[in-house]
Amino acid sequence: MKTNKLKITALGLVVILGVTAIMPACKSLTKTQKGAAIGAAAGGTIGALIGKKAGNTAVGAIIGGAIGGTAGAYIGRNMDKQAAEIEKTVPGATVIPAGEGIIVKFDSGILFGFDQSALTATAKQNIDNLAASLNKYPNTDIMIIGHTDSKGTDAYNSKLSLERANAVKTYALAQGVDFNRLKTVGKGESEPIASNDTEDGRAQNRRVEIVIVANAKMKAEAKAASGN
């Protein structure tokens, strides 16, 4: 976790310095234009932080949910705390802290049998532990994204990826996670994070990503706490 925090700090400084350098030359910009410039810089920072560890849909959900500023920093501290707890309690997951959000990634082999969408016993234990964390931190929205490798047809892979995402959602609901917090997406083979030309690469692409971002209530609390 220390390494990730150092990366966040360093990238944050890059964004701040970059925006500071740009703004004096753009005094004529409207507040909306300036906000867009800062948002684009922050989005680039989050994208660089995540790199190719997750697909575009997960990265987009993090960037789209970010509010930035001191309120964003408040949210980020809460997310860092939850990420650290998930890393300790969900041994089958790869936890990616990403500023104002978290991506929890499972290789499909941990959750499902080959070409299956039924959760294994190990998967259920992992999701039990993750659901406990989600229930402890209720002011978040959760997107569950299924992915496959490139073997099989596009239609089949899209269907399988959604079925797997829905299987995770159904089990999380059974553990008490609020239905209104959960959304599922099946991306099939469309967002690889490694080459599909090797078995190792295909194994990386067969995955489920769970994206955790602040909901409206947490954002309101963050703005109140930071005086925004």
49 burial level (CB within 10 Å; 0-12, 13-18, 19+): buried
Q: What is the pLDDT along the chain (228 residues), one digit of tens a residue?
A: 333 443 433 344 333 334 334 334 444 444 333 333 334 444 455 656 666 788 899 999 999 999 999 999 999 999 999 999 999 999 999 999 999 999 999 999 999 988 899 999 999 999 999 999 999 999 999 999 999 999 999 999 999 999 999 999 999 999 999 999 999 999 999 999 999 999 999 999 999 999 999 999 999 999 999 886
Instruction: Tell me what pLDDT residue 193 has.
Output: 94
Instruction: Tell me what pLDDT residue 6 has.
Output: 36
**Residue 227 identity (one-letter amino acid):** G
Instruction: Tell me what pLDDT residue 51 has.
Output: 63
Instruction: Tell me what pLDDT residue 227 has.
Output: 84
Give one DSSP letter per residue of 196-219, joined into a string: TTSHHHHHHHSEEEEEEEE-HHHH
Instruction: Tell me what pLDDT residue 38 has.
Output: 38
Domains plus CATH for the chain?
Answer: 51-226 (3.30.1330.60)
- Dmax (CA) for the chain in angstroms is 60
Instruction: Tell me what pLDDT residue 226 has.
Output: 86
Nearest Cα residue to 160 out of 102, 219, 103, 205: 205
| Per-residue CA distances from 29 to 19, 37, 67, 186 (Å) | 13, 10, 20, 40
Instruction: Tell me what pLDDT residue 15 has.
Output: 39
CA–centroid distance for 155 within its chain: 25
**Residue 47 identity (one-letter amino acid):** G
